[in-house]
């Protein structure tokens, strides 16, 4: 009787292990953000820079307004274009605070 119980537990444990392995195999690895690929995709005319219209794409409403804010914050030299370096650079909180102050005035 004890032997049958032990065998049954082993079979159940093996079954659970197989289910876990199957789930792990089905899960796709998470893709990491590739700034170069994203920049290349946005740069529709392949001139090596992204203008505001390219950056906005087909965004609407809040997403459009947010895209404009992000673009302005990233456009460090204010030339109306983002280079790859500007695109990859993180947005500093100072820039966001300045934009909020400018809107209020």
**pTM score, two decimals?**
0.59
Residue 94 has pLDDT above 80, yes or no: no
Mean pLDDT of 31-56: 94
Q: Tell me, what's the pLDDT at 92?
A: 76
Residue 34, both tokens: 């590739």
Q: So what's the pLDDT on residue 68?
A: 95
pLDDT at 86: 96
Q: Are 91 and 74 spatial neighbours (Cβ–Cβ below 8 Å)? A: yes
65-74 pLDDT, tens digit each: 999 999 999 9
Q: In this model, does residue 17 exceed pLDDT 90?
A: no
Q: Which strand (E) or helix (H) includes residue 23?
A: helix 2-26
With H, G, I as helix, E, B as strand and everything else as coil, classify residue 80: coil
Question: Do 91 and 73 meet the contact criterion of CB atoms below 8 Å apart?
Answer: yes
Assigned CATH for 35-104: 1.10.238.10
d(CA 30, CA 33): 10
* Rg, Å, the chain Cα set: 26
């Amino acid at each position: 009787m004890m032997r049958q119980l032990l065998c049954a537990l082993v079979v159940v444990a093996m079954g659970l292990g197989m289910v876990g392995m199957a789930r792990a195999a089905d899960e796709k690895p998470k893709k990491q953000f590739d700034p170069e690929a994203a920049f290349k995709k946005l740069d529709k005319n392949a001139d090596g820079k992204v203008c505001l219209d390219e950056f906005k794409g087909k965004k609407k409403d809040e997403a459009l307004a947010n895209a404009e804010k992000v673009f302005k914050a990233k456009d460090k030299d204010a030339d109306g274009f983002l280079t790859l370096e500007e695109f990859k650079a993180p947005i500093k909180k100072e820039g966001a605070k300045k934009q909020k102050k400018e809107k209020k005035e």
